C-alpha cells in the first residue's frame, strides 16, 4: 500500500508541475496582441496557399457562350408549336441530335463561333429567343436542347405549353424549394 500511495503522489505531483499556474496562463493570454494573431493567421494562409498547385490557384473566368447566328422572328404561338413538335419528336438520346432538332423545329441551326453549340437567336414579340443544341460534356449520353426567352414580352402562356405536354404523357415537375422557379416536363 505505501508503494501505491507513493506512486499516486508522484503522478499527482508531476501533473501539477506540468501545467502552468493560473497566473502564468493569464499572463500568456494578456501578452498576445491582435498583431500577433494577425501574423499567425498570415503564416497559416501562406502555408495553405503554398500547398495548392500553381495552376489550381488561378480560376479561369467564364465569359459565356459565343453568340448564335441570327434566325427568323417567331410569334409566341410559333414557339409553342415548335416546343410541342420537338416534344413529340424527342423520345431517345439520338432524337436530340442537332439535325433531328432542326428538322423538328423547322429551321436550320448553324454552329456558333467555337463550334461547340448549334442554334439561332431572333426576335419573339419585343423580346428575343435563342434555340441551342449542344453536348454538355463528352461523357453525356445525349445533347441538351434549350429554348431561352428574354423580356417579359417574349413570355409564353403556361397553359398553352402545359396542357398538350401532359396530354402527350409528360410529367410536370415543380421544384419544392423556393429558389428555383423552373418547371420541368
H-type helices in 19-177, by residue range? 22-31, 34-51, 54-57, 76-89, 98-105, 158-167
Contact 163, 172 (CB under 8 A): no
pLDDT higher than threshold 70 for residue 102: yes
Q: Residue 57: which of 43, 46, 72 has the closest Cα? A: 46
Residue-wise pLDDT for 45-61, tens only, equals 777 777 766 655 567 77
Nearest Cα residue to 149 out of 140, 161, 141, 137: 161
Cβ atoms of 170 and 87 closer than 8 Å: yes
In sequence order, what are the beta bridge partners of 121?
A: 70, 130
Smallest CA-to-CA distance from 130 within 161, 103, 109, 158 is with: 109
What's the average model confidence in pLDDT over 122-140? 88
Mean pLDDT of 112-126: 91
Query: To the nearest whole number, what is the mean pLDDT of the chain?
Result: 79
**Region of residue 11 (phi > 0: left; psi between -120 and 50: alpha; otherwise: beta):** alpha
> What percent of the chain clears pLDDT 70, i.e. is strictly above it?
74
- Tell me the pLDDT tens digit for each residue of 58-82: 677 777 888 899 999 999 889 989 9
Q: Tell me the pLDDT band of 5, cut-offs 50, 70 and 90.
A: very low
Q: Which residues, in sequence order, are CB contacts of 117 under 8 Å at separation 6+?
A: 65, 68, 111, 132, 133, 134
Above 70 in pLDDT, residue 164?
yes
Choose between 14 and 129: higher pLDDT. Answer: 129
* pLDDT at residue 140, rounded to an integer: 82
Taking a C-beta distance cutoff of 8 angstroms, is the pair 108, 102 a contact?
yes
**DSSP 8-state class, residue 114:** T
The enclosing H or E element of 127 equals strand 127-134
pTM of the model: 0.61
The Cα–Cα gap between 85 and 74 comes to: 15
Residue 167: its pLDDT value, please?
A: 86
Amino acid at each position: 500500500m505505501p508503494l501505491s500511495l507513493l506512486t499516486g503522489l508522484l503522478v499527482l505531483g508531476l501533473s501539477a508541475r506540468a501545467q502552468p499556474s493560473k497566473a502564468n496562463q493569464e499572463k500568456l493570454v494578456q501578452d498576445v496582441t491582435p498583431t500577433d494573431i494577425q501574423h499567425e493567421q498570415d503564416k497559416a494562409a501562406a502555408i495553405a496557399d503554398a500547398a495548392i498547385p500553381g495552376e489550381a490557384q488561378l480560376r479561369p473566368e467564364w465569359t459565356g457562350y459565343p453568340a448564335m447566328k441570327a434566325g427568323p422572328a417567331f410569334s409566341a404561338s410559333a414557339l409553342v408549336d415548335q416546343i410541342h413538335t420537338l416534344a413529340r419528336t424527342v423520345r431517345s438520346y439520338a432524337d436530340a441530335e442537332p439535325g433531328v432538332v432542326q428538322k423538328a423545329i423547322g429551321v436550320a441551326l448553324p454552329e456558333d463561333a467555337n463550334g461547340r453549340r448549334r442554334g439561332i437567336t431572333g426576335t419573339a414579340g419585343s423580346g428575343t429567343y435563342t434555340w441551342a443544341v449542344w453536348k454538355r460534356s463528352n461523357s453525356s449520353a445525349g445533347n441538351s436542347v434549350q429554348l431561352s426567352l428574354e423580356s417579359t414580352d417574349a413570355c409564353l402562356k403556361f397553359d398553352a405549353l402545359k396542357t398538350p405536354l401532359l396530354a402527350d404523357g409528360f410529367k410536370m415537375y415543380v421544384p419544392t424549394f423556393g429558389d428555383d422557379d423552373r418547371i420541368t416536363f
